[in-house]
Amino acid sequence: MGKTPEAFIFDLDGVITDTAEYHFLAWKALANELGIDFDRDFNEKLKGVSRMDSLDLILEHGGKREHFTPEDKEKFAAQKNNHYKELIKNITPNDVLPGIKTFIEEIKKNGFKIGLASASKNAFAVVDSLGLTESFDTIVDSAKISKGKPDPEIFLTAAKQLGVKPEQCIGIEDAASGVDAINSAGMFSVGVGDHEILSHANLVFSSTSELQLKTILKAFNENASISEPIEA
C-alpha cells in the first residue's frame, strides 16, 4: 500500500444516496407477479449485486430458475428496471445521504480525485437527479464492465480512468460484495454500515454522517506502514 492516497472511489446506492427502497419495491412487484415470496430480509442479499444476478437469485429463491428462457429473463430484468426508473424520478438533491456533500467537498478541497463505481445502469441519471454530476471526475456503471461485484473490475476501471494506481485509491462501500471488490482490487476499503457484515473492510463507519477524511487518511497511513515491510 502506498503512503499517499490519490483518489476516493464511491459506491452509489447506500453511500451517496439510498435507492435501496426503490430497488426493493421494483423487485417485489416483479417477484409477486411471478408468484415468488419476496421480503426485506431476502432483499438484503441483492445489495451490490448486478441486475441479472439479482434476478437469478430471486428465481432460485422461488424454485423457478430453470422455468424461464434467457429471453424471458431479459424481459423480466427490463420490466423491473422500467419500474425502478419511474420510481427514481422522485429523487432530488435532498436525497443525498447525511454528511456526503460536506465529505465530498472536503475531499476535493484537499486535492484528491473522486470516482464513482456503481453496479446500477442508471447511475448517471441518479447522480444527475442528485445534482452531483460535477462532483465526480469519472463515473463507471455496469454498462462499462463485464463482471459485477465482488469482482474488482469496476473499481479497477474507475482507478484507470482516474489515472491512479489501485493501491493509491480508497474505496467506500456499504455492501459486503462491494468491500470484497475493493479488497480484491488492492485498494484501501472503507465500509459504511453494520460492523459485523463489513468486518473485512479496513475501516468501518456506522453511517455516512460519521465519515471523516482525517480518520480515513490516518487509518490508510497506518495500514501502509504495516503492510510495506510485508510486501518488501
Long-range contacts formed by 44-48: CB under 8 A, 24+ apart: 47/13, 47/14, 47/20, 47/174, 47/175, 47/176, 47/177, 48/11, 48/13, 48/119, 48/149, 48/150, 48/173, 48/174, 48/175, 48/176, 48/177, 48/178, 48/181
CA of 103: how far to CAs of 48, 57, 88, 190, 208, in Å? Answer: 22, 35, 24, 14, 9
Residue 13 appears among annotated catalytic residues:
yes
**Of 11, 137, 141, 180, which one is the catalytic site residue?**
11
Q: Which residues are catalytic?
A: 11, 13
